[in-house]
Amino acid sequence: MGTGNAVQEWLRDAAEVFAEHAGELNELDRAIGDGDHGTNMSRGLETALTIPIDEDMSPTDSLKRVGMALVSTVGGASGPLFGTFFLRVGQNWETPSTTSGIATAVRAGLEGVMARGKAVEGDKTMVDALAPAVASLDDSAAKQLPLEMALRLGAQAAHDGAQATRGMLARRGRASYLGERSIGHLDPGAISSALILASAARHIS
């Protein structure tokens, strides 16, 4: 399977994952937000199911299409933030894929999200899943680990980071209006980020 093909399969899988988890993500969002995060993300990523499996379509083009779809179809802050992530990852994607190249691309995505959302690690946002993943990928690149292993470790770091948001005080986004009441709830954006990276780990190698 070519790299472009693998990226398209990743995006297709991500769309299916969000369709499956939309209700769960809505429940998480209902506790600290509008309650529609899962539905919005699922709708935005449905575009991945329409991307044809075509070796001629580059990873950059595939990721750009999904990024633009998220920006245009997902409401609130999630669309621009997740859209920016996919767009920046796509812009920095190198072919053939390597551990160091993927680490660079995902870091660019993280930096785009941080710049757009004005969030840092510890604010109880998607950054709290993406930042540990980037650190893990950087570490794997330094150790010259195979890409498949690096992505698996990065996805686990994102999962752990997302789970850690339960104990955080929200300092950005709608959840920040709740103050202390935001503690004890998982951040849906962080969970979504972890789902995206877990999907990538299953398909990009």
pLDDT tens digits for range 147-192: 999 999 999 999 999 999 999 999 998 899 999 999 999 999 999 9
The pTM of the full predicted model, rounded to 2 decimals, is: 0.94
Residue with tokens 């575009």: 47
What is the rounded average pLDDT of the residues 81-107?
A: 96
Distance of CA 113 to CAs 4, 20, 21, 46, 108, Å? 24, 25, 22, 21, 9
* Residue 43 parent element (H or E): helix 37-45
**pLDDT for residue 123 is more than 80:** yes
What is the rounded average pLDDT of the residues 50-68?
A: 81
> Can you read off the two tokens belonging to residue 134?
């980037």
What domains are there in the chain, each with its CATH number?
Answer: 3-203 (1.25.40.340)
Q: How far is residue 187's CA from residue 174's CA, in Å, rounded to a whole number?
A: 11
pLDDT at 77: 84
**pLDDT for residue 47 is more than 80:** no
